[in-house]
């Protein structure tokens, strides 16, 4: 249980709040690169700031205040020019630093005027990595954009999913420190959903349960370990575990789950999936990393709970816009959550005292690649589960790789296409897969 004040402190992300200042020390994903290739402006709301992301015709990215400082129209309707973004209303133009560089009528009337030099809006740095665009809203100089392994590995295929959630980011993260929900939400309850659908299939054996859970702080966050009724401490879920990457990511399964705070009551959940090929197989070159919206709800308004993360997102959203932690009753299954809240508090204190929090990188030598690890990995690479991304009511044909998904067809299980691509590449290379 937390006091109302402590809950506010952990959840509020606006400028000047303790968590808002901590979050401003990190680069956050704001778009898939392909989105700006398809349409060069995008409305972005990040850490309670309304912004516009754009790519000008020379290929430079910018992230500016959303509203034009002249008469306050929305610059996401603006025009990307050779160098800068031009407002559609009266043609003022801004460069990526937020400096106004043209005011057509003012310059006609006052050719020697210096008005535009006095007009500046927020202009935040943007970098591209791993098919995503990253923004930094904090004090300068910005730290390096961390080169976490999955964004920079070669010889892999990737895809990006995005889900908009009407709830605070901390609910998503606390779920990642709460392993015990696995056998209930994703097991028992999921099986109950299948029963309601009239199918015999069951996802998790009903008697599979956690028997032991453990959490350890490490230099990038917290490592989670566990044993189940059918595993021991010699198995990788205990020996290796998997990390929560400070402050707001989980590394598990096929990649990262990144929970980007839009504001206090909205979050974007990014699913960043990376598929390594089987040993000996080369991944075909991927010119574009695909991006898709993963819907929170079905068209009839019901939560899309027919796949694992859909079950998680349902749980987070039903906790309310901001969970009332002053009313909660924590037990043994929540000790990871308690450790994580303490870590957040410590790091907020470090920032308030003028220090640099966990996962701040300034030495390029340390940032060539930042390797993480996780259970169920083959060597250093992820194993692609055969049934990855198959919604519970979907059918995958292993012969063709085709998938029929009803009714949440938009999940577009790219992972399945990846499996087929690798199977074909193996066959072409004469490699027999198990």
Binding flags for Fe ion, 305-324, as an x/- string (CB under 5 A) = -------x------------
56-64, 67-75, 257-265, 272-280 -> range binding ligand FES (CB under 6 A): 67-75
The strands making up 27-32's β-sheet, listed across from edge to edge, are 27-32, 132-136, 126-129
Nearest CB to Fe ion, comparing residues 30 and 315:
315
Give me the least distance between CB of 423 and Fe ion, in Å please: 29
* 421 within 8 A of 156, measured Cβ to Cβ: no
Q: For residues 96 and 178, which CB has a smaller minimum distance to Fe ion in the complex?
A: 178
**What's the alpha-carbon Rg for the chain, to the nearest Å?**
23
How many residues of this chain bind Fe ion (CB under 5 A)?
Answer: 1
DSSP type of residue 90: T
Q: Which is nearer to ligand FES, 94 or 153 (CB)?
A: 94
Minimal distance, residue 52 CB to ligand FES, in Å: 12
Select the residue interacting with ligand FES from 64, 68, 165, 358 (CB under 6 A).
68
List 434's β-bridge partners, or say none: none
Q: Compare residues 71 and 380 and give the one whose CB is closer to ligand FES.
A: 71
Cis peptide bond prior to 245, omega within 30° of 0: no
Strands (E), 166-265: 210-218, 221-228, 242-245, 249-252, 255-263
The number of beta carbons lying within 10 Å of the beta carbon of residue 262 is: 20
Residues 271-330, interacting with ligand FES (CB under 6 A) = none
Q: Select the span of 25-33, 69-77, 107-115, 135-143 touching ligand FES (CB under 6 A).
A: 69-77
Q: How far is the CB of 86 from ligand FES (least distance, A)?
A: 8
What are the DSSP calls for 307-357, one per residue? SHHHHHHHHHHHT-SS--GGG----GGGHHHHHHHHHHHHHHHHHHTT---
Choices 90-98, 197-205, 334-342, 392-400 (CB under 6 A): range interacting with ligand FES: 90-98
Q: At its nearest, how many Å lie between ligand FES and the CB of residue 81?
A: 13
Report d(CA 39, CA 2) in Å as an integer.
Answer: 44
Residue 190, Cβ density class (10 Å: 0-12 exposed, 13-18 middle, ≥19 buried): buried
Which residue from 9, 45, 90, 181 is in contact with ligand FES, where contact means CB under 6 A? 90
Q: How many residues bind ligand FES (CB under 6 A)?
A: 9
Please give the C-alpha separations between residue 63 and each of 28, 71, 117, in angstroms, as whole numbers.
12, 19, 19
Tell me whether residue 104 or residue 205 sits nearer to ligand FES (CB atom): 104
Q: Does 71 bind ligand FES (CB under 6 A)?
A: yes
Of Fe ion, ligand FES, none, which one does residue 401 interact with (CB within 5 to 8 Å by kind)? Answer: none
In the complex, the residues that contact ligand FES under the rule CB under 6 A are 68, 70-71, 73, 87, 89-92
């Amino acid at each position: 249980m937390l006091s109302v004040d402590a809950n506010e402190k952990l959840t509020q992300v606006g400028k000047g709040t303790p968590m808002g200042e901590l979050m401003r020390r990190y680069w956050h994903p704001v778009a898939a690169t392909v989105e700006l290739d398809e349409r060069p402006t995008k409305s972005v709301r990040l850490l309670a700031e309304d912004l516009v992301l754009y790519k000008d015709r020379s290929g430079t990215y910018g992230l500016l205040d959303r509203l034009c400082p002249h008469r306050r129209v929305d610059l996401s309707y603006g025009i990307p020019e050779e160098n800068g973004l031009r407002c559609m209303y009266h043609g003022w133009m801004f460069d990526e630093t937020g400096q106004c560089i043209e005011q057509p009528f003012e310059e006609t009337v006052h050719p020697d005027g210096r008005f535009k030099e006095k007009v500046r809006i927020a202009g935040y740095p943007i970098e591209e990595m791993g098919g995503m665009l990253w923004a930094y809203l904090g004090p300068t100089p910005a730290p390096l954009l961390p080169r976490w392994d999955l964004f920079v590995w070669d010889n892999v295929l990737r895809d990006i999913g995005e889900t908009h959630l009407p709830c605070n980011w901390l609910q998503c993260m606390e779920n990642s420190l709460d392993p015990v929900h696995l056998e209930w939400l994703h097991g028992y309850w999921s099986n109950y959903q299948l029963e309601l659908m009239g199918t015999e299939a069951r996802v998790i054996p009903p008697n599979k349960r956690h028997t032991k859970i453990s959490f350890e702080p490490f230099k990038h966050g917290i490592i989670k370990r566990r044993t189940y009724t059918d595993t021991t401490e010699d198995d990788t879920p205990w020996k290796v575990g998997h990390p929560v990457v400070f402050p707001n990511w989980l590394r598990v399964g096929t990649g990262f789950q990144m929970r980007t705070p839009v504001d206090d009551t909205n979050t974007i959940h990014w699913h960043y999936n990376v598929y390594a090929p089987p040993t000996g197989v080369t991944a075909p070159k991927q010119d574009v990393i695909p991006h898709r919206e993963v819907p929170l709800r079905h068209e009839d308004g019901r939560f899309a709970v027919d796949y694992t993360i859909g079950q998680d997102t349902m749980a987070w959203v039903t906790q309310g816009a901001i969970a009332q932690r002053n009313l909660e009753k924590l037990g043994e299954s929540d000790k990871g959550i308690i450790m994580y809240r303490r870590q957040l508090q410590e790091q907020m204190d470090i920032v308030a005292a003028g220090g640099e929090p966990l996962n701040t990188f300034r030495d390029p030598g340390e940032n060539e690649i930042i390797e993480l690890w996780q259970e169920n990995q083959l060597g250093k690479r992820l194993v692609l589960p055969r049934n990855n991304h198959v919604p519970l009511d979907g059918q995958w044909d292993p012969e063709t790789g085709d998938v029929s998904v009803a009714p949440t067809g938009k999940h577009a299980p790219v992972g399945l296409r990846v499996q087929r691509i690798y199977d074909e590449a193996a066959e072409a290379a004469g490699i027999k897969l198990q």
